[in-house]
A and B are shown apart, each in its own frame.
Chain A
Amino acid sequence: MSTEKRIQERDVVIQTIAKLMIPFIQLYGLYVMVGTEGAGGGFQGGTVLAASFILLVVAFGVDKGRMKMPEGWNAVFKSLGLYLYAGVGGLLCIILSLGAAEYLNYYGIPLAKIIGGPATRGFWVGNIVEVGIGVTVMAAFVSIFYDLVRKEESVEEEGGAEK
């Protein structure tokens, strides 16, 4: 069975439901990732976001999925999350406080002197650090899924060529 034929045989019901659900899943993933007052955090939110892209690939095929979420962007997001956490959230503490604070000590950011300590610390930890975690987790899971899917397809193609 060729790839084009399999794409044509995809179910209309699944595609319509996926189209309806994916935006809401992504919104929920963002809510879980950023909302520090509710349950969840970066790891859970990133996984929900990755699940939305996996649903996209399941419903519409790998090629459409790769068009929406290219692998180049995946690689960028993967490192960007780590940079957000380790680079910005950490180095800002040391450089901007001129060495007064330790690594990952958000209390040492000079903004804390202006706005008031705990509020600034909550902002950095709750939003920026968690978004950093979520972006890395999402990109990592989507990239692993793409690689596994590609392997499956190429094996099938080889099998078909033999017949």
Chain B
Amino acid sequence: MKKLHLLPTVALLSVILLGAMFMYVVEDIPAFGDPNSPPNKYVPLPISIDADGLAGSLDAGVVPAELKTKIAEIGYTRENHFPSLEEGNYKIDKTEEGWDVLITKGEKYEEYHPGPEKWYFIKEELGGKLKVYRYSIPVRWQEKTEEETGLPNMVTSGLADYRGYDTMYEETVIFTAAISVIMLLRRREKL
């Protein structure tokens, strides 16, 4: 009777499973470059209230109190390190699709990140309901990276500036690899 090779079989199966998982992930991600897909544009928040009377208030540049309490209920408060919607530190831009809420963060980072940032996006749905979205990070990145870092290249600013710690320790990993190879393979008498 032929001997069953357990280890190669398990290895082959795990590789096939991994390949299947990658295929599923590739199928599941949004189309490349789609500017309106959630990771690229905005994330929906579980808020839906009647638009009666609130649209006029938004047009006038004021976020209604009901909306503020709804946003606070999901936990987007100053205690959780989200910028708060207080009088005077936000403004509303009306666009064709809805309303952009721009918030000035203030606090400690005022020196480094002055000016308002796009934070919420409010849209009137067909049924007369207001839906609230949060702008995702790539939007802020695209709009602020040159102004903040002075680099014309989004990739470099992300790699070396915003994620400086990450890159520093990646470099350390390569350094450690080289040192390990030296310790394992280098022969003393030939130095």
For the complex of A and B, the 8 pairs showing the least CB-CB separation, nearest first, are: A122-B150, A118-B150, A140-B178, A104-B164, A147-B185, A122-B151, A125-B160, A144-B181
Beta-carbon contact of A144 and B178 below 8 Å:
yes
Beta-carbon contact of B185 and A150 below 8 Å:
yes
A150 touches which one: B157, B167, B190 (CB < 8 A)? B190
**9-residue interface stretch from A3-11, A20-28, A51-59, A79-87:** A79-87
B152 touches which one: A37, A82, A123 (CB < 8 A)? A37
Nearest CB of B to A91, in Å:
12
Q: Using an 8 Å CB-CB cutoff, how does the interface string of B143-183 with A read, 1 for contact, 0 for none?
A: 00011111111011101110011011011101101100110
Q: Using an 8 Å CB-CB cutoff, how does the interface string of B111-155 with A read, 1 for contact, 0 for none?
A: 010000000000000000000000000000000001111111101
Q: Using an 8 Å CB-CB cutoff, how does the interface string of A79-108 with B read, 1 for contact, 0 for none?
A: 101100110001000000000000010110
B149 touches which one: A86, A104, A125, A136 (CB < 8 A)? A125
Given A104-B168, A137-B174, A140-B177, verify A118-B156 contact (CB < 8 Å): no
B172 touches which one: A43, A82, A130, A151 (CB < 8 A)? A82
How many inter-chain residue pairs (CB < 8 Å) link A and B?
A: 98
When distances are taken between beta carbons in the complex, the residues of chain B under 8 Å from A79 are 175
B-side residues, CB < 8 A to A, are 112, 146-153, 155-157, 159-161, 164-165, 167-168, 170-172, 174-175, 177-178, 181-182, 185-187, 190-191
Beta-carbon contact of A130 and B156 below 8 Å:
yes
**Residue of A whose beta carbon sits closest to that of B180:** A144
Segment 13-56 of A: residues with Cβ below 8 Å from B:
36-39, 41-43
